[in-house]
């Protein structure tokens, strides 16, 4: 069994164990709880233990109760409650891969999605725990029929622009960027600022090689 096979098994088990949170009531589980807005987390439990900044409020007409969906950033909190979205699940699955000795990096998509990449056989491989998807970089542009203006990869050493890798329709990307005044100079500035802050960290040989070796 290859490493890819093992990671795929982990993804499948994770998706089954950790369902994606959409809009159900956290009290009676009724679907379609009304979205009321977001609030800032101020309590010790949410802010300090769950490391959350914000929470969604939803009202359930079935049980007349408010649900408070806390956007947790603490891996232990996420694993205990067993529900979340792409942000929570990227954090949780990244922790699982790190336990198994695989390096990861974070992928930010400006069209409102995040996932991770796993370093397998010296290559960073697309890994989306919400979809149990491994090495399917065109999932979003083809299956989801999405487009995006910016996709960035972050690790502790560097940030790089991966937009063309995940969204290869360069003309659509260029149009989106033009509409929001996202110039190449601005993108370069964003990357430079991040890379400058990480410049005092030595980049490992494996990470350097993997940055230039993609499937």
pLDDT at position 103 over 60: yes
pTM for the full model? 0.88
Match domain 86-215 to its CATH number in 3.30.70.520, 3.30.200.210, 3.10.620.30, 3.40.47.10.
3.10.620.30
pLDDT digits (tens, 9 = 90+) for 115-154: 999 999 999 999 999 999 999 999 999 999 999 999 999 9
The confidence band for 207, taking pLDDT boundaries of 50, 70 and 90, is very low
Fold of 21-83: N-terminal domain of TfIIb (2.20.25)
Predicted local distance difference test score (pLDDT) of residue 200:
61
Query: Strand order of the sheet with strand 34-40?
Result: 34-40, 54-60, 65-70
Q: Is 113 marked active-site?
A: yes
Q: Find the catalytic residue in 24, 25, 41, 113.
A: 113
The confidence band for 201, taking pLDDT boundaries of 50, 70 and 90, is low
Predicted local distance difference test score (pLDDT) of residue 198:
78
pLDDT digits (tens, 9 = 90+) for 26-70: 999 999 999 999 999 999 989 999 999 999 999 999 999 999 999
The ranges assigned to domains in the chain are 21-83, 86-215
Predicted local distance difference test score (pLDDT) of residue 2:
95
Q: Is 86 marked active-site?
A: yes
- Tokens, residue 19: 């369902």
Helices within the chain (DSSP H only):
3-17, 75-81, 86-99, 163-166, 170-179, 184-197, 205-211
- Tokens, residue 21: 């949170």
* Residues 6 or more apart in contact with residue 48 via CB below 8 angstroms: none
Q: Find the catalytic residue in 25, 41, 60, 86.
A: 86
């Amino acid at each position: 069994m290859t490493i890819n096979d093992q990671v795929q098994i982990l993804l499948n088990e994770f998706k089954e164990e950790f369902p994606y949170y959409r809009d159900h009531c956290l009290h009676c589980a009724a679907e379609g709880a009304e979205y009321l807005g977001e609030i800032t987390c101020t309590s010790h439990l949410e802010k300090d233990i769950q490391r959350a900044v914000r929470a969604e409020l939803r009202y359930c007409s079935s049980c007349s109760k408010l649900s408070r969906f806390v956007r947790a950033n603490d891996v232990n909190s996420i694993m205990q409650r067993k529900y979340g979205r792409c942000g929570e699940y990227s954090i949780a699955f990244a922790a699982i891969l790190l336990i198994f000795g695989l390096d990861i990096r974070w992928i930010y998509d400006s069209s409102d999605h995040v996932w991770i990449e796993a370093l397998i056989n010296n290559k960073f491989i697309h890994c989306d725990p919400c979809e149990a998807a491994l090495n399917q970089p065109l999932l979003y542009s083809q299956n989801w029929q999405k487009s995006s203006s910016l996709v960035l990869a972050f690790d502790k050493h560097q940030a790089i622009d991966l937009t063309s890798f995940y969204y290869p329709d360069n003309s659509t990307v260029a149009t989106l960027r033009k509409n929001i005044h996202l110039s190449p100079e601005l993108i370069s500035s964003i990357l430079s600022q991040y890379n400058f802050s990480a410049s005092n960290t030595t980049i490992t040989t494996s990470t350097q090689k993997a940055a230039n070796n993609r499937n």
